[in-house]
Amino acid sequence: MFENHTINFDILKQRAFNLRWATVPEGVIPLTAADPDFPSAPEIAEAIIRFTKDSYLSYGPPAGLPEFKESVARFFQEKRQIPASPELLFPVDSAAFGIYVICKAFLKGGDEAIVFDPVDFLFRYSVENVGATAVPFAIPPTDAPVDFDRLEQLIGKNTKMICLCNPLNPTGKVFTKEELTCIGELAVRHNLIILSDEIWSDIVFKPHLFTSIASINEEIRNQTVTVTGYSKSYGLAGLRIGTVVASNTAHYERLFEASLHTSTIHGANVLSQIAVVAALDECGYWLDGFVSHLQNMRDLITTGLNSIEGFNCRTPEGCYVAFTDIKATGASSAELATRLFNEAKVAVVPGAKQWFGEGAEGYIRMSFATSEDVITEAISRIKQTLNR
Ligand SMILES: Cc1ncc(COP(=O)(O)O)c(C=O)c1O
């Protein structure tokens, strides 16, 4: 399922946007946005076709199709040990929008939210878009322990939220239960909302284990709003679909109001919800195969990157991105990314503040959700360019 010949590069060149195949010049390998090169599981297309066959595409319920709510609740109960109830979760048109909805529901002008650094730009972007301030908390991509004293020092009278990205894009860190307990206890003590983004939670490599912070205990769960999506695990980025899970009715009501779903100004597409039901109920075998392929690709790309002079790539524990320290090359992240694009014809994401915060400078990020052939070719091109 995950061989080079299963990738249809012609279709990707027409359809894969967001810095990927459809946006780069012919001949460039885009290891940029974390979106798989592989086609999604066949059951997903079949479910969409079955649903559209009758040609009725009416409005869905604002809080989500019953089958979506039930399937997602079952996933959280069985796979994440969270007693999620269908009444306390709703679909959103992407995890990205889910992050924004949570910020809109719980933050106002003058509030502060703690955001990891480095981390995907969506957190800072959403916090700032609702008029609040993002306070960076450094979690360097090294073996250094998380500095919880520093975290507590960052909490002031205006702090209302802590944005947890677990597993952490771009460093691939998977938080341990002990670390999550520390974060959770801090949130309880200071009455902070924990925004727990778990979109990467299926992409965790052995022997690391994923823990949902809301599964730790009831007190921590009551501070937590969980958001997830299906772009990473099942390759459904273009369907723009995610889920927001509240822990209690008061939170649910605030979140649902912030979503603007009742007014129909926003809402999740019914076909995307049907796709998620098929993914969660029928495609576990596909996800298992994908994760086991990714574990091999992770080892291939990190070995390859570490064989390049000036590169140092830690093995990611989760996520399908390799975050490489390139400081020893003497180039900045932006300079190196430009050189690799122009000379090696490999597109990477530079560790720029715009993408991941200030803590990402000196790094580049590469997605490895592709075939062995593509990765081998990309590494060989980078090596040749830098050895010149
Ligand atoms: C941590 C994190 N959250 C959310 C998203 C966005 O997901 P979606 O495609 O569902 O908006 C991404 C995508 O890269 C991500 O890395």
Alpha-carbon dihedral 384, 385, 387, 388, rounded to 10 degrees: 110
Nearest ligand 1 atom to the CA of 119 is: 1
β partners of residue 350: 364
**pLDDT tens-digit series, residues 128-160:** 999 999 999 999 998 899 999 999 999 999 999
Three-state DSSP state, 136: strand
Are the beta carbons of 43 and 57 closer than 8 angstroms?
Answer: no
Q: Which residue reads 């999620």 in tokens?
A: 84
Taking the C-alpha atoms of residue 36 and residue 320, their distance in angstroms, rounded to an integer, is 9
Question: What are the tokens at 344?
Answer: 């090696």
Question: What are the tokens at 46?
Answer: 């079949």
Q: What's the DSSP call for residue 21?
A: G
Nearest ligand 1 atom to the CA of 319 is: 16
Instruction: State the pairing for strand pair 363-367/321-325.
Output: antiparallel
Nearest ligand 1 atom to the CA of 230 is: 10
CB atoms within 10 A of CB 53: 8
Alpha carbon nearest to ligand 1 atom 13, residue: 34
Q: What is the pLDDT of residue 13?
A: 97
Closest CA relative to residue 326, chosen from 385, 269, 371: 385
Are the beta carbons of 205 and 295 closer than 8 angstroms?
Answer: yes
Instruction: Look up the pTM and report it.
Output: 0.98
Taking the C-alpha atoms of residue 313 and residue 152, their distance in angstroms, rounded to an integer, is 30
Q: Kindly list the distances between the CA atom of residue 354 and the CA atoms of 82, 123, 249, 302, in Å, as whole numbers in the listed order.
A: 34, 12, 36, 25
Alpha-carbon dihedral 76, 81, 86, 92, rounded to 10 degrees: -40
At residue 34 the predicted structure's pLDDT band, cuts being 50, 70 and 90, is very high
Q: Which residue reads 């060149």 in tokens?
A: 13
Instruction: Tell whether ligand 1 has an atom less than 6 A from the beta carbon of residue 325.
Output: no
Burial class (CB within 10 angstroms; exposed 0-12, middle 13-18, buried 19+) of 250: exposed
Closest CA relative to residue 267, chosen from 297, 236, 244: 244
Rounded to the nearest angstrom, the distance between the alpha carbon of 99 and the centre of ligand 1 is 9
Q: What would the DSSP string read from start to end of 33-90?
A: SS--SSPPPHHHHHHHHHHHTT---PPPPTT--HHHHHHHHHHHHHHH-----GGGEE
Average pLDDT of every residue of the chain: 97
At residue 87 the predicted structure's pLDDT band, cuts being 50, 70 and 90, is very high
At residue 387 the predicted structure's pLDDT band, cuts being 50, 70 and 90, is confident
**pLDDT tens-digit series, residues 197-213:** 999 999 999 999 999 99
At residue 338 the predicted structure's pLDDT band, cuts being 50, 70 and 90, is very high
Buried b / exposed e along 314-353 (16+ C-beta atoms within 10 A): bebbbbbbbbbbbbebebbbeebbebbbeebbbbbbbbbb
Rounded to the nearest angstrom, the distance between the alpha carbon of 116 and the centre of ligand 1 is 15
Instruction: State the pairing for strand pair 159-165/133-138.
Output: unpaired
Taking the C-alpha atoms of residue 106 and residue 214, their distance in angstroms, rounded to an integer, is 18
Q: What is the pLDDT of residue 42?
A: 98
Burial class (CB within 10 angstroms; exposed 0-12, middle 13-18, buried 19+) of 287: middle
Instruction: Tell whether ligand 1 has an atom less than 6 A from the beta carbon of residue 197.
Output: yes
Percent residues over pLDDT 70 in the chain: 100
**pLDDT tens-digit series, residues 286-300:** 999 999 999 999 999
Q: What is the pLDDT of residue 143?
A: 85
Rounded to the nearest angstrom, the distance between the alpha carbon of 309 and the centre of ligand 1 is 32
Instruction: Tell whether ligand 1 has an atom less than 6 A from the beta carbon of residue 239.
Output: no
